[in-house]
């Protein structure tokens, strides 16, 4: 009789275990689409109109001629080709030639040098294809699956929408020693986005493309150091614009304009003369322990207690948009583009890009 009781209990345990597995999967699915909790310092608001400017730098340049946009400038120079790119790949792509291609490469190198030499970021070369677990860890999956380019095959992989995914996941399922914190990484990579939610927005030019280069900053810190690190990171990003002498402003995003994984975000916007307004060139976010919980990334604090890490990410900067800003702010009446002083060592013997 005791034997039969044990058999019944075993069957019951198996049934309950199966039920628990189902419930855990349902709970995980529910939790995976819940956004991060916002920091108390984030201002209340419903849209980008409620974002608050914190500071601005530089006077927007007043041209004594009608400003051309980057498309008109690039096509007149014969160095931006959207038509051929469309034949090769469709809309939202561009072929960049000669001196503009060199300028784009120079910008990546310049940004990497600033961040590694002046701000202590470690340069990392990373894969551009990642598994689903990596995208889940940083919050792109499952919520933003429609914006991800995927490669079908024996092992499904996904093209990175930003190097944040790879750099942050370097600590996934890790226990980092507190003496090794903070970790600061930087990478220059292509980024790939379907731009699924941007139908009709910025369809002309290089502002919003399916493929673009970005220099990405990621910091891994003790979770109570996120606020200070966000200030440090955003200052590292704005230094690039300071050095390039491009006018910009720094804003804090309101509650209604926040990203999924962020607890607090600063956007940096650069001045574009052709639009007579500022446009986003960097977004720097603290995610608190939100991503670390998803990635199971921990450290032992000073009391030897296991804690989830704090993670931050930011553009330092979007390379294509920086090139656009240089083209427009450094344009001359005859359609030439002057080279910023700090970039001349990266583009030897070139003071300007012109038809001649």
HSE at residue 89, side-chain half, CA atoms within 13 A, is 12
Contact 269, 48 (CB under 8 A): no
* Strand partners for 278: 271
Q: What are phi and psi of 320, to 5 degrees?
A: -60, -45
Cβ within 8 Å of residue 34, ≥6 positions away? none
* CA 138 – CA 121 distance, rounded (Å): 20
Cα dist from 151 to 128, 129, 156, 209, 352, whole Å: 12, 9, 6, 19, 41
- Tell me how far CA of residue 318 lies from CA of 200, 203, 217, 325, in angstroms: 21, 18, 11, 11
Catalytic residue, chosen from 61, 105, 172, 208, is 208
283 has catalytic annotation: yes
Our answer to whether residue 105 is catalytic in this structure is: no
Question: What CA–CA distance (Å, rounded) separates 276 from 195?
Answer: 24
Residue 251 near residue 52, CB atoms below 8 Å: yes
Q: How distant, in Å, are the alpha carbons of 138, 189, 216, 356 from that of 176?
A: 18, 26, 22, 55
Residue 331 DSSP class: B
Task: Choose, from 92, 184, 294, 321, the residue flagged as catalytic.
Answer: 321
- Provide the token pair at 301: 């604090």
Helix intervals (H) in 34-97: 70-76, 82-89
Active-site residue identified among 193, 232, 249, 298: 193
Of 72, 195, 222, 280, the active-site residue reads 280
Confirm whether 321 is a catalytic residue. Answer: yes
Within its chain, how far is the Cα of 116 from the centroid? 18
208 is catalytic: yes
E strands, the chain, are 52-57, 80-81, 95-96, 122-123, 129-130, 150-151, 157-159, 175-176, 183-192, 211-221, 248-252, 264-272, 277-286, 298-300, 306-308, 310-318, 337-338, 352-353
- Among the listed residues 261, 274, 282, 283, the single catalytic one is 283
Quick one: CA torsion of 141, 147, 152, 156, rounded to 10 degrees? -20
84 is catalytic: no
Q: Which residues are catalytic?
A: 193, 208, 280, 283, 321
């Amino acid at each position: 009789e005791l034997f039969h009781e044990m058999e019944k209990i075993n069957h019951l345990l198996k049934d309950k275990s199966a039920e628990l597995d189902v419930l855990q999967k349902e709970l995980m699915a529910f939790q995976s689409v819940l956004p991060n909790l916002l920091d108390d310092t984030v201002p209340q608001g419903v849209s980008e109109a409620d974002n608050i400017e914190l500071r601005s730098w530089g006077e927007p340049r007043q041209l004594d001629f009608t400003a051309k946009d980057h498309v008109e400038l690039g096509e007149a120079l014969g160095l931006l080709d959207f038509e051929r790119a469309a034949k090769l790949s469709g809309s939202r792509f561009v072929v960049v030639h000669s001196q503009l291609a060199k300028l784009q490469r120079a910008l990546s190198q310049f940004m990497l040098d600033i961040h590694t030499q002046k701000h202590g970021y470690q340069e990392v070369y990373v894969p551009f294809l990642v598994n689903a677990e990596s995208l889940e860890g940083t919050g792109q999956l499952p919520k933003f699956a429609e914006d991800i380019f995927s490669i079908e095959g024996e092992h499904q992989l996904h093209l990175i929408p930003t190097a944040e995914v790879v750099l942050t996941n370097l600590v996934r399922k890790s226990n980092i020693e507190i003496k090794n914190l903070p970790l600061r990484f930087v990478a220059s990579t292509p980024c790939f986005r379907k731009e699924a939610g941007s139908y009709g927005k910025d369809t002309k030019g290089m502002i919003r493309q399916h493929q673009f280069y970005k220099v990405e900053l990621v910091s891994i810190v003790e979770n109570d150091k996120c606020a200070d690190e966000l200030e440090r990171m955003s200052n590292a990003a704005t230094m690039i614009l300071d050095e390039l002498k491009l006018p910009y402003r720094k804003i804090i995003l309101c509650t209604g304009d926040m990203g999924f994984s962020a607890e607090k975000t600063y956007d940096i916007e650069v001045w574009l003369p052709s639009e007579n307004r500022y446009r986003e060139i960097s977004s720097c976010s603290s995610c608190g322990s939100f991503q670390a919980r998803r990635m199971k990334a921990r450290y032992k604090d000073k009391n030897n207690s296991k804690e989830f890490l704090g993670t931050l990410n930011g553009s330092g900067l979007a390379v294509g948009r920086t090139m656009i800003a240089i083209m427009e702010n450094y344009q001359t009446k005859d359609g030439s583009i002057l080279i910023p002083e700090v970039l001349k060592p990266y583009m030897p013997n070139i003071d300007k890009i012109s038809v001649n």
